Structure 1
Amino acid sequence: MAIKVVTFDLDNTLWDVEPALLRAEEAQRQWLLRYRPGSVEQYDHDSLWEFKKTVWKRHPELLHKVSAMRKQMLLEMQLAAGYSERDARAGAEQAFAVFLRERHQVQLYEEALEVLEELARDFTLGALTNGNADIYKTDAAEYFDFAFLAEDLGASKPAPDMFHAAMKTSGVQAAEIVHVGDNPEHDIRGAREVGMYTVWMNSPRGPWPGGPRAHREISNLRDLTAAVGSIHVAAGGGRPK
């Protein structure tokens, strides 16, 4: 049973997400300072993080909806500063739009587009992310056939929902898919448990945290084509072992 589909996590798999998130947070802050004065000045990095955690605790229904959770945080910050419900809701939408626009200004790893182009010649490519990055708003858009976000499905990896969605959309069995991701728990364990092959993108070259290992491990995307190719050859024997 040969490999037919390769699915990717996005943040820290195809790009380093930290620079984009820092810029997005700052753009959001500058918008609030200009258009909603009094809503953000009292927060430094640590106190803002603590405030976010209180929002998460009060709204467990938004656990897998990172965009809705951020909007709720923005709403509550403005309400606490004395803005009307109407102005706070409008401000939350506008501040989030500023954040999201900058969040998508990601810099793909240098070798990413070349590797994706190579893989797209032989495999269907899909994106599976717990975050709110839209692959179709990046330079890699043309190589992807489908994409799923946790907030759209109401479940985050390692839950099986996104992996099952990938199987249903592509029309293949789990053992015909290789999932590539940086998170041992969300990506590797989640994909393995539904029967997919896995490649661990270990850019920091950290130690494996324990449990069943990925079928292949790479530290640079340049090695991904060979890793998928070797799995493709081995997959003739059926399900992953």
Structure 2
Amino acid sequence: MAIRVITFDLDNTLWDVDPALRRAEEAQRQWLLQHRPGAIEAYDHEGLWRFKQDLWRRHPGLLHNVSAMRQQMLLELQLAAGFPHHEAEAGAAQAFAVFLEERHRVELYEEALDVLQALAGRYTIGALTNGNADIFKTDAGEYFDFAFLAEEVGVSKPAPDMFLAAIEVAGVEAGEIVHVGDNPEHDIRGARDMGMHTVWINSQGEEWPGGARADREIVNLDQLPAAIESIAAGLAPPRG
């Protein structure tokens, strides 16, 4: 059995997500301040976090759909400020569009495009993310053959659904896929439980939390092609 497909997590695997999220949150806040006065002014960072936590408790069905959850938050902020429902709905959609546009202005890790270009010449490339980033709206999109978001399949990693979707769309066996990600639970355990090979990108030098480890561990995407070659070499039948 050979390696035929490489799937990637996105946030904190191909880029540092925090700068993009901070910019997106600020763009969303500025839209609300300008167009829906009174909706956001009373909330500092901690206050807004508590508002979100309450929202998660009241809407558990949205836990795997970060886009719908954010739009619900934006709706409720405006309703609480006294805006009529139709204005709040329209405002939620517009504020979310502002957020999402900035959220896609990610800065890929310096080595990401070169690594993806090299891999795309040899493997089918896919994206599997619990977030709401559309890989095809980033500079890396041209190297990807398919992508799945948790909000599309209805459940987040480490549940098997996204991994099963990748297996089906690629038309391969699980053992022909290497999944690359930064999260030991969502990415490594989830993919390993499906029978995929795994590469943990540990750019922050974290300790492994326990349990079965990834097939390979790297600290930089530059090391990924060699890690994949090493996995593939272990699958090759002995010569002679």
TM-score (norm 2): 0.98
Question: Which amino acid in the other structure matches residue 100 of structure 2?
Answer: L
2: distance between equivalents of 1:215 and 1:73?
A: 39
Match of 1:27 in 2: 27
Match of 1:153 in 2: 153
Residue 232 (1) aligns with residue 232 (2): yes
The superposition leaves residues 97-148 of structure 1 with CA deviations (integer Å, 9 ceiling, x where unpaired) of 0000000000000000000001111100000000000000000011000000
Match of 1:6 in 2: 6
In the TM superposition, what is the alpha-carbon distance from 1:234 to its structure 2 partner?
1.2
Matches within 5 A, 1:34-183: 34-183=34-183
1: distance between equivalents of 2:96 and 2:157?
A: 24
2: distance between equivalents of 1:126 and 1:106?
A: 18
Instruction: Using the aligned pairs only, state the percent identity.
Output: 70
Match of 2:208 in 1: 208
Preserved contact between residue 10 and residue 129 of structure 1 (Cα < 8 Å): yes
Question: Which amino acid in the other structure matches residue 116 of structure 2?
Answer: L
**What runs of 5+ residues in structure 2 fail to find an aligned partner?**
none
Match of 2:218 in 1: 218
Question: Which amino acid in the other structure matches residue 38 of structure 1?
Answer: G
Runs of 4+ in 1 over 3 A off after TM superposition: none
Indicate the SS of the match to 1:71. helix
2: distance between equivalents of 1:51 and 1:44?
A: 10
TM-score (norm 1): 0.98
Aligned residues: 237
In the TM superposition, what is the alpha-carbon distance from 1:235 to its structure 2 partner?
2.1
Preserved contact between residue 175 and residue 235 of structure 1 (Cα < 8 Å): no
In the TM superposition, what is the alpha-carbon distance from 1:63 to its structure 2 partner?
1.0
Question: Which amino acid in the other structure matches residue 146 of structure 2?
Answer: F
